[in-house]
């Protein structure tokens, strides 16, 4: 493996580790457990899971793979806070969306070369990218990996000891 490919491999391993532990945790919860708050008055588990799914689904166009698979998630889990809408999704629905969306992402990741990873994502102009070359696909992968860990750390607080 080339040096460049090794750096890509490291970041993909870190992403996969976080996606897998997050999916394993949330998909094992009952519909009732998904309604638990991570702390008094804070987000419910179902909202956190939907939020993570929505943010990851948005990576599909951001990295230039295809259109969103589930743009409908945003109104439920990004543009509105938890409990603002009566409408939400079941654990079964979120598990299915989670797996489908992560499979699509993984497929797209595998098609990117090391230089593709250092190339701009679709939400930055050529002008801005010329000034800030660190705003590339790889940076998006790293920050979204941290975002997964950030909310997984919150979700895990509900696990009984």
Among positions 142-161, residues that touch its own copies (CB under 8 A) are 142-143, 145-154, 157
Question: How many residues comprise the chain?
Answer: 161
Distance CA 7, CA 23 (A): 24
Q: Which residue has the tokens 């008055």?
A: 41
Nearest CB to its own copies, comparing residues 111 and 161: 161
C-alpha 117/C-alpha 136 separation (Å) is: 7
CA distance 26 to 30: 9
**84 lines the binding site for its own copies (CB under 8 A):** no
7 binds its own copies (CB under 8 A): yes
**Per rule CB under 8 A, is residue 132 in the interface with its own copies?**
no
Q: Within the chain, what is the greatest distance between any pair of CA atoms?
A: 51
The region of 69-77, 83-91, 98-106, 111-119 touching its own copies under the rule CB under 8 A is 111-119
Q: Which positions lie near its own copies, rule CB under 8 A?
A: 3-4, 6-11, 13-14, 17-18, 38-40, 42, 114-115, 117-118, 133-134, 136, 138-139, 142-143, 145-154, 157
């Amino acid at each position: 493996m080339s040096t460049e490919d090794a750096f890509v491999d490291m970041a993909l391993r870190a992403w996969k580790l976080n996606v897998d532990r997050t999916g394993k945790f949330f998909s094992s919860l009952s519909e009732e457990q998904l309604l638990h708050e991570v702390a008094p008055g804070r987000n419910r588990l179902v909202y956190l899971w939907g939020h993570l799914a929505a943010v990851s689904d948005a990576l599909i166009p951001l990295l230039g793979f295809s259109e969103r698979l589930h743009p409908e998630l945003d109104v439920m889990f990004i543009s509105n806070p938890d409990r603002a809408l009566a409408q939400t999704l079941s654990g079964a629905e979120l598990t299915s969306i989670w797996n489908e969306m992560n499979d699509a992402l993984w497929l797209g990741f595998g098609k990117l070369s090391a230089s593709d990873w250092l190339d701009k994502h679709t939400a930055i102009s050529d002008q801005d990218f010329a000034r800030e070359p660190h705003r590339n696909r790889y940076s998006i992968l790293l920050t979204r990996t941290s975002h997964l860990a950030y909310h997984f750390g919150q979700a895990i607080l509900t696990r009984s000891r």
